[in-house]
Structure 1
Amino acid sequence: MNRTMLKALPAAITLALACGAAVADEEGFHGYFRVGAGSTTAGDGGPQGCFGLGGNTMKYRLGNECDAYFEGGYTKEIAKSGGVSYVATVWANVYSPNSDFGDKKLGLNKAFIEAKGLDFLNGGTAWMGKRFYYRPDIHMLDLQYINMNGTGAGLDRIGAGPGKFSYAFFKDRDTNTLDANGKVVGTPSAIRQNFIYGDVPVNTDGTFDIAATIITAEGKNDDALGQKHNGWQVSLFHKQAKVFGGANTFGVQYGVGPGTGIGVGNGQMGASGYTSLGSDVKRVRVFNDLWIQPTENMGMEMVALVQKDKSDAGGSSTWTSLGVRPVYAFNQNLKMVVELGTDRVTDSRGPTKRLTKLTLAPTISAGPGLWSRPELRAFVTYGKWNQAATASVNASNNSGPIYNNGTSGTSFGVQVESWF
């Protein structure tokens, strides 16, 4: 990859992570993977230990991922008619909770076709199938703060006034629940409708998106599994480009019942959470994610986040997180990456939990930029938490409760991460 392409990577990554509805994949083979190997100083050593509070939180990921993941596939124009391009995308993925993929089976996470450039959609796109859809993230936390992935159909990026409108229909958890005799006793399925109005210019180099979800539970009259509930969420995002060579995203989100996303990953709002959640279950999230690249050799990502969850049964909890990842490149292919993150969870039912994680990672990279990949990292990670957090740190660690009653730990290892 030449120097000019490397300089363009930050803008490309920002577009891929933070743009409006459903950025189309470019034609060709593309993907992402991370895999590593590490150990810990806890106990007698053994598998790498990771540091997080679990529950409704996410952990700072540099030198703190004990798993392995791959996804990749191909995008190809398969037909063209009357100026409309028909593009097919098929991707597979595989996940392991530890460093070895072993005999883990491939899954299919994309299989869809787009019809691009339709005149009657004002240049918009129609699509059907299974796909990733509108899932920008905070990279340091691996938190897709909104995620509309699924199987369904939609109309994307239709010019409407100053912005673009997108609508998508999804069917989630499309299964029945059976009793011991094989009789259908209910269903966890839901119909999900997503609405996005985005790319609305509001200031110089700044745009505004609003993304809403309506979730309709199925099987609402089935007493065998209890009452089912509908839900909804609405999210507002302001995206500011050209901030010291980078970009800033500020978001405010609110969800009710299944609209909180609880039950999908780490509560990815925009998807259908458990339909057993009533209107007493609420989530509010406010965050700011900033990355900068003021010079070719120096970049940084910074995040601040507050998330409050509340329900009649569980009371209330608030997750507060602050983190920074500075990167300094010594030359074109060697840099030092540092990540410092601190999390606090206050809970109406118990004491406050605190965790701080620090990672130092000398890195061989395809370029000096913050987003240059691949990166081949060696790392040392130190975690420190209070006694109230000990059980949570042990429970959320892929390697099990290796920290026992301790309140600190160190892990070390290597990891490669790449997107292409």
Structure 2
Amino acid sequence: MTITPEDNMNTKLCTLAVALAATLTSPSLLAAIDNIDFHGYLRGGVGVSRDGGMEEWQKNKIGRLGNEADTYGEVELGSEVYKKDDVSFYVDTMVSMFSDGSNDNETTLGDDAQFGLRQLNLQIKGLIPGDKNAVIWGGKRYYQRHDLHIIDTKYWNISGSGAGVENYTLGPGAISVAWIRNDANDVDYREDGDNDVNINYIDVRYAGWKPWSGAWTEFGVDYAIPNATDKQKEYGGLYDAENGVMLTGEVSQDMWSGYQKLVVQYADKGLAQNMVSQGGGWYDMYNDTRDAKGYRVINTGLLPITDRFSLNQVFTWGSADNVTAQTDSSTLLSLVGRAQYQFTDYVRGIGEVGSFWQKDKNRDGSDYKQAGQKYTLALGLAAGREFMSRPELRVFASYLNDSEQGNTFQDNTADNTWNFGVQVEAWW
């Protein structure tokens, strides 16, 4: 029998396939794959308004349902790379993608999409005497963010590159201490290149104290330290920003198989504007904030009224003084409520109503006012009956109304508009 070159090639391909199959099913490789934690988040879909693409307007103040026009995703991979007795080393990574969802091939070349490195850190357990569950960490991470989901806002969010000790048991609760870097955008273009202002945060939190049955609390101090370069200090002006502080206290209470939470915050200097911007702790380097201070009160909660009907609400009142050179005081009121009724285990009706009012009182005696409302109805298909069960697909219709400035929509020709669309959201 004559062996042809084609026979040799087929034999090599068959051998390669067998070897590859053996490798992919080997116990060591399967164990390594099984040891990888896979998490993520996505939202995306398609929508239109009365005049072209979907309008997205003030979603952090009137609610996000039927008011999100972007595509956004996060993919997180983590693994415990070492464990012996009570000691473990865990590596966590996350990348993200953001786009307007306008075409089939969204890349950075045409500025259609933005890709980011959101987390890359090491977490070590078991090395702190007396508390094997306390964590020593370092790297880049989302750091204990506090979220208001229905308005897509993190009211306490000091994230970035840093290091710290987390969840060390102390008395009835646990303490966490971190040093985190989150620079502010450059405010003076006399400097060449990317010369953002270095901002360092000292973050101290105490969580877990339960003052009475069904209650739990958390308290924290965030101290922001602008660290300008010598050249930036020579320019002076906005680079002379002073250290700022943000204080947060919150108490939550179990209620009707759900909860209610009250949050009180104070901030000054470059952190004060967060109290009226729905921010979570970013430092403002664009304005002279030496005399700025602000307060914020938030009430949020989830109440399962029946086994089919649930309510989720977010109320925000914020006030800040001297956050810009022109502004004497600013006030924000925002109220968003979402109701959900389960028709079956997988089909639900959703309604969301949001309204806000904001006023800036200027030093020259003039006022700048903003106000608006949103009303949304949606039919949702979700993986379960719980209010936050995801994945979820929604078919929605939203009415947006600018009741103060006017002519915000349809190329600045109308004070209201309609959105129609389909959106999916998932986390895992």
Normalising TM by the smaller chain, what interval? 0.7 to 0.9
Give, as a single letter, the amino acid of the residue that structure 1 aligns with 2:97.
V
Aligned match of 1:87: 90
Note the C-alpha offset of 1:323: 1.7
Going from structure 1 to structure 2, the CA distance change for 1:77 and 1:181 (only over 3 Å counts) comes to: closer
Q: Give the TM-score normalised by the residue count of structure 2.
A: 0.81
Give, as a single letter, the amino acid of the residue that structure 2 aligns with 1:330.
F
C-alpha separation in 2, matches of 1:177 and 1:321: 30
Going from structure 1 to structure 2, the CA distance change for 1:317 and 1:93 (only over 3 Å counts) comes to: same
Q: Is the 8 A contact 2:376 2:399 kept in 1?
A: yes
Q: Is the 8 A contact 1:290 1:303 kept in 2?
A: yes
Which of 171, 178, 181 is 1:161 aligned to? 171
Q: Is the 8 A contact 1:229 1:276 kept in 2?
A: no
* 1:77-116 residue CA offsets vs partner (Å, 9 max, x unmatched): 0001341111111110011245557112421101001012
Q: Give the TM-score normalised by the residue count of structure 1.
A: 0.83
Going from structure 1 to structure 2, the CA distance change for 1:295 and 1:107 (only over 3 Å counts) comes to: same
Which consecutive unaligned segments of at least 5 residues does structure 2 have? 1-34, 108-112
C-alpha separation in 1, matches of 2:242 and 2:419: 43
Aligned match of 1:419: 427
Which of 317, 336, 351 is 1:306 aligned to? 317
Which of 101, 106, 126 is 1:102 aligned to? 106
Q: Is the 8 A contact 1:257 1:275 kept in 2?
A: no
Give, as a single letter, the amino acid of the residue that structure 2 aligns with 1:151.
S
Going from structure 1 to structure 2, the CA distance change for 1:413 and 1:112 (only over 3 Å counts) comes to: same
Which of 346, 354, 362 is 2:359 aligned to? 346
Note the C-alpha offset of 1:143: 1.1
Which consecutive unaligned segments of at least 5 residues does structure 1 have? 1-25, 395-400
C-alpha separation in 1, matches of 2:123 and 2:61: 33
Aligned match of 2:341: 328
Give, as a single letter, the amino acid of the residue that structure 1 aligns with 2:52.
G
Give, as a single letter, the amino acid of the residue that structure 1 aligns with 2:241.
K
Q: CA RMSD in A?
A: 2.6
Q: Is the 8 A contact 2:159 2:182 kept in 1?
A: no
Note the C-alpha offset of 1:239: 1.5
* 1:294-351 residue CA offsets vs partner (Å, 9 max, x unmatched): 3332211012110112215322121101121000011011110110011111221425
Going from structure 1 to structure 2, the CA distance change for 1:362 and 1:270 (only over 3 Å counts) comes to: same
C-alpha separation in 1, matches of 2:260 and 2:157: 19
Which of 48, 55, 67 is 1:49 aligned to? 55
Which of 235, 240, 251 is 2:263 aligned to? 251
* 1:171-216 residue CA offsets vs partner (Å, 9 max, x unmatched): 22289889668489x6511111000011111111101111111111
2:209 aligned with 1:200? yes
Aligned length: 377
Give, as a single letter, the amino acid of the residue that structure 2 aligns with 1:402.
Q
C-alpha separation in 1, matches of 2:101 and 2:38: 26
* 1:48-74 residue CA offsets vs partner (Å, 9 max, x unmatched): 11232x8xx634100000111101111
C-alpha separation in 2, matches of 1:252 and 1:303: 14
Identity over the aligned pairs, expressed in percent? Answer: 26
Which of 272, 292, 316 is 2:303 aligned to? 292
Aligned match of 2:17: none
Give, as a single letter, the amino acid of the residue that structure 1 aligns with 2:424.
V
